[in-house]
């Protein structure tokens, strides 16, 4: 869902693309942990388009899952094809004392797409649809897994969206009582 969140404010008239260029894609992949052990990942404009295509396919699959609808065939093909890609391979590093693992791939970008697609498959296959939610803040479209005991979480983040909604409601109530 962190990949899906790279396109923010989906419901507004001014959505926010967080991956506007290949440099942003490289930064996001590193920050998201999608490049284990890789310092750099060559990405070109077509690679960026592939990542955005995967992101949107995952988004539509999650929406269909939440609504109890059949999963879109084209989107399934996109995710399943990415899932079948090359993997990062673990190895024990030579010449070092202690423990550790080095992860390598001859195609780090394709391996990152594989990792992201498999995470999406795991999410849809194992998390109850009722626990995958969209933030109720009117300007937010982030999706999250509600891991609260009651299953009644409403916002992607209480510190950001939840607090903003509550402060706005408090101010509105205060303005009407004066």
Residue reference for tokens 């923010």: 8
pLDDT of residue 158: 72
- Mark the ranges of the chain whose per-residue pLDDT is less than 70: 95-98, 162-170, 174-178
d(CA 33, CA 47): 17
In the beta sheet, which residues pair with residue 104?
A: 89
- Tens digit of pLDDT for each residue in 129-170? 999 999 888 888 889 999 999 988 888 877 778 666 666 665
pLDDT of residue 178: 55
Residue reference for tokens 């190895």: 91
d(CA 35, CA 104): 9
Number of neighbouring beta carbons within 10 Å of residue 50:
18
What 3-state class would DSSP assign to 88? coil
Q: Are 55 and 6 in contact (CB under 8 A)?
A: yes
Q: Specify the pTM.
A: 0.85
What 3-state class would DSSP assign to 36? coil
Furthest CA-CA distance within the chain: 73
pLDDT of residue 47: 97
pLDDT of residue 168: 65
Sign of the Cα torsion 130, 131, 136, 139 reads negative
pLDDT of residue 29: 96
Torsion of CA 98, 101, 30, 60, to 10 degrees: -140
d(CA 103, CA 41): 13
pLDDT of residue 85: 96
């Amino acid at each position: 869902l962190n990949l899906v969140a790279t396109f923010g404010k989906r419901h507004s008239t001014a959505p926010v693309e967080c991956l506007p260029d290949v440099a942003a894609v490289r930064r996001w992949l590193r920050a998201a942990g999608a490049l284990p052990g890789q310092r750099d990942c060559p990405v070109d404009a077509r690679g960026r388009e592939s990542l955005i295509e995967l992101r949107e396919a995952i988004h539509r699959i999650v929406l269909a899952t939440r609504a109890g609808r059949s999963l879109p065939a084209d989107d399934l093909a996109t995710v399943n094809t990415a899932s079948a890609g090359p993997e990062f391979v673990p190895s024990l590093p030579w010449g070092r004392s202690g423990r550790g693992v080095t992860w390598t791939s001859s195609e780090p970008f394709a391996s990152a797409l594989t990792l992201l697609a498999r995470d999406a498959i795991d999410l849809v296959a194992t998390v109850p649809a009722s626990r995958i939610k969209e933030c109720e803040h009117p300007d937010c479209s982030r999706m999250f897994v509600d891991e609260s005991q009651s299953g009644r979480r409403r916002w992607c983040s209480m510190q950001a969206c939840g607090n903003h909604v509550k402060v706005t409601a408090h101010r509105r109530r205060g303005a009407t009582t004066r």
